[in-house]
Structure 1
């Protein structure tokens, strides 16, 4: 059965090594000299090794002691980091995080799980709304961090990914061949205007099949092969697919997944969440392709 090192004893050991003696180490640790000596003895007995060379006038480390000191410093630093992160008052409370419904998957659930594990004292509140609504809430101070889908990025924003819009239909569907082209879209969707402009420019007659605030209604209509919609390439809904139209439908512009952090007392905590989002989206790789 594996043995466990006593962090308190390791802290005393590291203090003795740094201070060059038990007396000064005891003063730094606010302990008695005998308490520090007992911790050192217990640590040596646990390991079955001599860690200090007591033959000289000043205390020196043995070869085994030098090796343990490197581990001790790493273990203590990790312990102190974890303790500070989990107990620091900046890392508690509520954080409001807004995301458009169509980009919640696949990145957001993974980020939420990781954030909850690392900051268990923070209540992370997820809000799903369209981009313009989220930006309004951020401006009012009702959001701490938001993701958006936009053609450009505003001042203070950061692009996490840039990718094309695609036409979306039912798997193996034929609705995209019909004229007028039946089109389904959310009332506030930022992708609606680019899609309509593209159809107008290409001379494709169209009509609304669904213009609703219900994304479920839109996805169901498209999955039933009664209409087409547009979506980011990475966010095609389940039971739908990107249409392989071989140029029969017009090219759509690229859009961005942007991130905005509100200033204020929770900005430090929001930045921790932002770091997880950057890692999940692979910012360096995606922006290098621009």
Structure 2
């Protein structure tokens, strides 16, 4: 009697092969690690072959695994094509996008609107957090895409644009003139350490005016002219402005806005989403 391969198990196999481990694959598949491991075990038992070399520090495909991978991709693609054509749900599903709060505007609303117009049955789950948190989520397989603000760019990332990092304060404010200058940063703000180092290097005394991870709290104290903050040029919120300090404050250099795309985000829809992100950040 012919035997049938389990497509769910094949999806788990491909996800683990693409990501190099069960932990990250389970995040993308929205399954527990034990469930993914069980599916792999059953797949190996049904084929009578070991698909991964588990003696290494990370999972590596065996010869049988390499042979199966191409077949598995084709079977999954054919299955999805049939389902899409027969049920009219080819472009239905969800993408998870992580973005730091300070670069959400103005590009992201335009990206979401354009994407929804082209793929009305797709949902985008927007996660806003600090770059460090987003990179950790991405590593765990919890996001399909993330945007980051960084000095450099990790392997697998793509720099979309470089922009200056600037000091911002209240419109017409004088907080930047005070010594020690009062600064407002969240504990996890990726700009914090670099900005404080720049002040130290310029021999400018400083003190923290607020210790909060609330963006609103930081904006409030800055707009009240009680502290200054550092942001990417063009992202300053209402009731604040770039400080025209004439060199009285240190230059903060440039920051990259990077795009990271999951290895599992394949196909026409994710590629089109990435294209829209690229287009709108270049125009923003």
- SS of residue paired to 2:95: strand
**2:253 equivalent in structure 1:** 253
Kept after mapping to 2: 8 A contact 1:185/1:218: yes
Q: CA deviation at 1:225?
A: 0.2
The CA distance in 1 between the partners of 2:88 and 2:279, in whole Å, is 24
Give the whole-Å Cα distance in 1 for the aligned partners of 2:170 and 2:157. 34
What is the alpha-carbon distance in structure 1 between the residues aligned to residue 274 and residue 186 of structure 2? 27
- Name the residue aligned to 2:272: 272
| Residue of structure 2 equivalent to 1:58 | none
CA distance in 1, matches of 2:221, 2:96: 32
Q: Is the 8 A contact 2:144 2:265 kept in 1?
A: no
Q: CA deviation at 1:271?
A: 2.0
Root-mean-square deviation over aligned CA pairs: 1.9
Larger radius of gyration: 1
CA distance in 1, matches of 2:265, 2:147: 20
Contact 1:147 1:257 in 2 (8 A): yes
- TM-score when scaled to structure 1? 0.66
SS at match of 1:112: helix
Q: Given the two structures, how large is their TM-score scaled by the length of structure 2?
A: 0.67
Count of aligned pairs between the two proteins? 200
Runs of 4+, deviation exceeding 4 Å: 265-268
3-state SS, counterpart of residue 221 of structure 2: helix
The equivalences for 1:112-261 within 5 A come to: 112-261=112-261
- Quote the offset at 1:167 in angstroms: 0.4
The answer on 1:104 being equivalent to 2:104 is: yes
Equivalent pair of 2:93/2:123 in contact (CA under 8 Å)? yes
Three-state SS of the structure 2 residue aligned to 1:234 is coil
Question: Aligned partners of 1:269 and 1:185: how far apart in 2?
Answer: 37
Preserved contact between residue 261 and residue 267 of structure 1 (Cα < 8 Å): no
Task: Please state whether the residue corresponding to 1:123 is helix, strand or coil.
Answer: strand
Contact between 1:92 and 1:122, CA under 8 Å: does it hold in 2? yes
SS of 2:161's equivalent in the other structure is strand
Q: Secondary structure at the match of 1:126?
A: strand
SS state at 1:282 partner: helix
Q: C-alpha offsets along residues 24-70 of structure 1, whole Å, 9 cap, x if unaligned? A: xxxxxxxxxxxxxxxxxxxxxxxxxxxxxxxxxxxxxxxxxxxxxxx
Offset, 1:270: 2.4
Summarize the Cα distance change of 1:144–1:268 in structure 2 as closer, same or farther, 3 Å threshold.
Answer: farther
**CA displacement at 1:121 relative to structure 2:** 1.1
> SS of the residue aligned with 1:208?
strand
Alignment of 1:24-35 (within 5 A): none
| Structure 1 unaligned regions, length at least 5 | 1-82
**Shift in Å, 1:269:** 2.7
CA 1:190 to 1:222, structure 2 compared with 1: closer, same or farther past 3 Å?
same
